[in-house]
């Protein structure tokens, strides 16, 4: 079963010009109803100050062939898929050096969504620490969401703030990278 969902992708980096046909074929295999796309001539004459921007619809808003091509050729991409029905909006990004792409839910403005149930226990713990200082740790010792942090705080107070920051960082997605310009390499 297929669900066509609006999506967009920005791509940048050094692009092997000899692969323009292959790249455009992959785009046409992954996307339907392309509203912002490129002919080979347009792609090869892309403004060197800009990244490539493609939008259209794709199966569940994904374009796996394009993702794979970008990773194989060290091209940074930032992909956004809109929400539709019971499918949430999502952002996916990858840049050279990453082992795998990062994916997270977004709102209609493409801002990350953080589940209240993930962050609320940490906020409760921090508020209690502000009002009751170290004695607040004992109140959260058996809390399944924060108990492991509390144990760190009780055993090594100097490591508590680092552990808390790491937990918060694991909940809040990193901001996607700025997509570099799309530069043609005519030697490849």
Please enumerate in sequence order all residues whose Cβ is within 8 A of that of 28, keeping only pairs 6 or more positions apart, or say none: 34
What pLDDT score was predicted for residue 26? 95
Both 163 and 94 in a single domain?
Answer: no
Residue 82 belongs to domain spanning: 4-112+174-185
Could you give the number of structural domains in the chain? 2
Both 99 and 9 in a single domain?
Answer: yes
Per-position pLDDT tens, the chain of length 188: 578 999 999 999 999 999 999 999 999 999 998 888 788 888 888 888 999 999 999 999 999 999 999 999 999 999 999 988 777 899 999 999 999 999 998 887 788 888 888 899 999 999 998 988 878 888 898 999 999 999 999 999 899 999 999 999 888 887 888 999 999 988 87
Both 103 and 126 in a single domain?
Answer: no
d(CA 150, CA 164) in angstroms, rounded, equals: 9
What pLDDT score was predicted for residue 45? 86
Report the first-to-last Cα separation within the chain, whole angstroms: 38
Both 167 and 74 in a single domain?
Answer: no
Both 95 and 132 in a single domain?
Answer: no
What pLDDT score was predicted for residue 1? 59
What pLDDT score was predicted for residue 132? 84
Phi, psi angles (nearest 5°) of residue 33: 50, 50
**Tokens describing residue 35:** 């509203």
């Amino acid at each position: 079963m297929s669900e066509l969902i609006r999506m967009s992708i920005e791509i940048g980096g050094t692009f092997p010009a000899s692969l323009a046909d292959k790249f455009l074929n992959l785009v046409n295999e992954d996307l339907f109803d392309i509203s912002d796309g490129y002919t080979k001539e347009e792609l090869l004459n892309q403004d060197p100050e800009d990244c490539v921007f493609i939008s259209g619809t794709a199966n569940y808003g994904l374009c796996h062939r394009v993702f794979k091509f970008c990773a194989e050729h060290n091209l940074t991409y930032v992909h956004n898929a809109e929400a539709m029905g019971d499918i949430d909006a999502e952002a996916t990004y990858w840049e050279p050096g990453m082992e795998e792409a990062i994916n997270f839910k977004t709102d209609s403005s493409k801002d990350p969504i953080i589940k209240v149930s993930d962050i609320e226990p940490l906020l409760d713990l921090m508020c209690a620490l502000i009002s009751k200082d170290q004695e607040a740790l004992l109140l959260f010792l058996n809390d399944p969401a924060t108990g492991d942090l509390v144990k760190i705080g009780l055993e090594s107070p100097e490591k508590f703030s680092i552990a808390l920051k790491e937990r918060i960082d694991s909940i809040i997605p990193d901001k996607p990278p700025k997509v570099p310009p799309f530069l043609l390499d005519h030697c490849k």
